[in-house]
Amino acid sequence: MIGKNQRKRIVRNILWIVLLGSGSCVRQRETAREEAGLYRMNTVICSQQYERLKQISVEWSDKINRRMETCGQNVILYVKRKLKKKGSSTKRTGIISQYDELFKKYSSEINWDWRLLASLVYHESSFDPSARSRAGAYGLMQMMPSTMESYGVDTAASPEKHIAAGVKYIKYLDNLMSRHIPNKNERVKFVLASYNIGPGHVLDARRLAGKYGKDATVWENNVDSCLLSKVDPKYYTDPEVRHGRCHGKETHAFVAQVMKLYGYYKTL
């Protein structure tokens, strides 16, 4: 460990080297020969000190690197322990959020696993009942004002009423998509996409899929790619498209993220 006095000497030596290097060394009022001798002597001393400083700096650098590496490893181990502890607690209790009982109560109305509903709500609002998007969507279910009005809720309604209203909207979307997507597991993805961007754009993407040789009953690598293409004039001006241009990238990611989180929730 470098002592306080040694650090002071090192700092003074560094300042002396800087002064010599810049040509600002203070000359004594002595003869030119004495001055030259003093300068040469100090140059030798400073050269020796400079080499010592380089050696110390290397030693310090090695010590700091080793210390930082150790600290980094300790932080990683600490985080892993915390995550392991948190994960074991979650697995033991099976709790996802404070609204789990409401998710269990209302998910039966749409024949969904309650954990899938929880995953959707997490990605919509992070379980924040007062969340408001830039577009104006509000609450746990992030419904737009017009949709909330259609299902009899407003910003003053309780979280339970928002969940109940959101589930009713999901049920409407599921009924709409069931005419075209017979497979329940596949239909979930279409419902999620419709919840996020609106059913009109999803139905447009299905029609484009049918026109361009893709499977209109399969989401991944079929209808989802057609939804993404609706940002291109070639496709959003196509006669099959009835709801115009849209940016499908967010919806594409939303469906994938909800399904991925749902998969994780099922392991808890």
For residue 150, the number of C-alpha atoms closer than 13 Å in the C-beta half-sphere is: 10
Instruction: Give the residue from 45, 42, 23, 22 showing the smallest Cα distance to 34.
Output: 42
Alpha helices in the chain (DSSP H): 4-22, 32-93, 100-107, 114-125, 145-150, 159-178, 184-197, 199-211, 224-228, 233-236, 249-265
Q: Is 124 one of the annotated active-site residues of the chain?
A: yes
- Which residue in 170, 175, 176, 180 sits closest to 258, CA to CA? 170
Of 59, 101, 124, 160, catalytic:
124
Give whole-number Cα distances, 18 to 12, 42, 59, in Å. 10, 13, 22
Distance CA 254, CA 242 (A): 23
Burial class (CB in 10 A: 0-12, 13-18, 19+), 225: middle
Query: What string of DSSP letters covers 22-47?
Result: HT-PPPPSS-HHHHHHHHHHHHHHHH
**What DSSP letter does each residue of 155-195 carry, written as one string?**
TTS-HHHHHHHHHHHHHHHHHHHHTT---HHHHHHHHHHHH
Local structure of 94: helix, strand or coil = coil
Active site residues: 124
